A and B are shown apart, each in its own frame.
Chain A
Amino acid sequence: MMSLQDLSAMADQICPMHVIIDTDGKLQSYGPTLDKIRGEDSWEGRSFFDIFDLQRPRWVKTVDDLMETAGSKLHFQLRSAPHTRMKGVLVPLPAGKGGFINLSFGISVLDAVRDFDLTSQDFSPTDLTIEMLYLVEAKSAAMEASRQLNLRLQGAKIAAEEQAFTDTLTGLKNRRAMDHVLNRLINSGRDFALMHVDLDFFKQVNDTYGHAAGDAVLQRVAAIMVDCTRKSDTVARIGGDEFVLIFEGLMDIGRLSELAQRLIQRLEDPMMYGAQTCRISASAGTTLSSSMSQPDAAQLLHQADVALYGAKRAGRARHMFFAPHLEAEMAPPSSKSA
């Protein structure tokens, strides 16, 4: 019959986290890895329950109860810091001489390795812990690389979206971007003025000097519009020669009129395309978000459109504010002159 010493020596090799207890639950011996983590005081002769807090199964209160658990999974926690959790299984020794308990760190192994500065020698060669640590580390490295890729893709997506909000010819915002801005302002309940600008005689430039000239004029127009507005205003090209300007917080009719006049004046300055001189003008119609108790994007755009139509009818190169009577005068309904 093998002695307890022989058993202990064998177990040191293959289960470096084993504990042998006697019938009173006192520690007879324990494996080298437990010896490494125990700290200053020897565990020999101490009560198993003084060192390990048995958390499950809960009905186990005494050493005899513990012996009853033979073969089933036990959950422990070290009573001393860092209160590492462990799993274990008990096998009774022959002839009622006590029990052999094999322990493992279970899922808390990552913390345990760090807390106790464990090395691969602290695990049995057949233990898969090292492979698991390898896998955890390899996977987190791969995950990090994937995360970086996702971040870069996210950046690229934002850049692409930004482009989709931009009118590529003029660099102004496009219709989609204008819708966004409009909805954002309406949802946040902020006041703004909406100006619809339509170029006059642009078609003639296109027809006379060609599309390249037309494009150059549009770019010049965009530059003038940006120049005449504040940085916080929105300038969008929403159609061939149609623009929408949104002035956040600017509700002063006098200032808006002045701004529109200045804009029209500057658009009337002759523009050079190569040796050609291109002349255009513009009409504008403006409405205020405050004209509606519950502003609605489509309705406001329609009002600005009506005002623009009024300005065109009054003889082009003009600016007009929306007024309900303009709507009535607009017949046949909602058809706008070019």
Chain B
Amino acid sequence: MHGLINRAVQAFVTSTYGSKRWNEIMDASELGFSEFEAMLVYPEDQSMRMMRAVERSLERPLLEILEDVGTFLVSNPQVEALRRLLRFGGVNYVEFLHSLDDLPDRARLAVSDLHLPGLELIEQAPGQFELLCQPGVPGYAQVMTGVLRAMADDYGALVILDLAGTQDGADVISITLIESEFSEGRTFDLGAHPL
């Protein structure tokens, strides 16, 4: 699994539960190292051993933890870069949702060996969407749910999100947009990034 994904989990655990907890988790996973490198690729089973150890240590279901990881990725100032990249997707939440179809391609433009499973947005009625998350990375739909929730706050939109089962092997996230300008949201300044 790509180092960025492992690193995301590491950043979430470290910043939420402290580095001591993270070291305990890595000791328990018996991988022989304590930090993942963002720009390296790790064998699948190493990532799984780390995630199982996270699950045991935090005493919460892994899928639930992964949703928090998704939220963390967007809302934590430590990882501002990712929020900014997602905000390039559109000027409002609906445009952002539509940009998700391109997300795996965009990710690959940034980091050529980062392969994310496909995403497909289906607009069923105004304000009612389904996001199909193709299989490939376990917990992908959960992370995406967290990301969608945090991005709604970021845009100031009020949404209801629900994992609505599977369809042809893809996990389905149902998205109901109640109000697109519910709150102020956070500002997005195109030129704010120090290059």
Contacts and interface: CB of A to CB of B under 8 A. Distances in A.
Contacts of A118: 190-191
Contacts, number: 58
Interface residues of A, number: 26
Interface in A115-132: 115, 117-121, 130-131
Interface string A315-337: 00000000000000000000000
Contacts of A137: 81, 84-85, 88, 193, 195
A138 B86 CA distance: 10
Interface string A143-179: 0011011001000000000000000000000000000
A135 B84 CA distance: 12
A138 B109 contact: yes
B106 A138 contact: yes
B85 A133 contact: no
Contact of B38 (A117, A119, A134, A145): A145
Contacts of A149: 37-40
B195 A110 contact: yes
A259 interface: no
A113 interface: yes
B111 interface: yes
Given A135-B109, A149-B37, A117 B88 contact: no
B interface secondary structure, majority = loop
Contact of A119 (B40, B91, B195): B91
B125 interface: no
B39 A135 contact: no
A14 interface: no
Contact of A130 (B88, B109, B193): B88
B192 to A, nearest CB: 8
A16 B81 CA distance: 29
A139 B81 CA distance: 11
A140 B195 contact: yes
A141 B110 contact: yes
Contacts of A231: none
B184 interface: no
Given A117-B189, A141-B81, A135 B110 contact: yes
B191 A113 contact: yes
Given A137-B193, A142-B110, A121 B85 contact: no
Given A137-B195, A138-B85, A140-B195, A120 B110 contact: no
A136 interface: yes
A114 interface: yes
B88 A133 contact: yes
Contact of A134 (B106, B191, B192, B195): B106
Contacts of A140: 193, 195
Nearest to B85: A138
Interface string B137-170: 0000000000000000000000000000000000
Given A134-B88, A145-B38, A149-B39, A119 B110 contact: no
A122 to B, nearest CB: 9
Given A137-B85, A140-B195, A141-B85, A121 B91 contact: yes
Question: Which among A118, A131, A141 has the greatest number of chain B C-beta atoms within 10 A?
Answer: A141
A36 B80 CA distance: 28
A115 B191 CA distance: 8
Contacts of A135: 109-110
Given A137-B193, A141-B85, A141-B110, A120 B39 contact: no
Interface string A28-59: 00000000000000000000000000000000
Nearest to B192: A114
Contacts of B195: 110, 136-137, 140
Given A113-B190, A137-B84, A142-B39, 19 more contacts: A110-B195, A114-B192, A115-B191, A119-B190, A120-B91, A130-B88, A130-B190, A133-B88, A133-B190, A134-B85, A135-B109, A137-B81, A137-B85, A138-B85, A138-B111, A139-B110, A145-B4, A149-B38, A149-B40
Interface of B: 4, 37-40, 81-82, 84-85, 88, 91, 106, 109-111, 189-193, 195
Interface of A: 110, 113-115, 117-121, 130-131, 133-142, 145-146, 148-149, 152
29 contacts: A110-B191, A110-B195, A113-B190, A114-B192, A115-B191, A117-B189, A118-B191, A119-B91, A119-B190, A120-B91, A120-B190, A121-B91, A133-B88, A134-B85, A134-B106, A136-B195, A137-B81, A137-B84, A137-B85, A138-B111, A139-B110, A140-B193, A141-B82, A141-B110, A142-B110, A142-B111, A145-B39, A149-B39, A152-B37
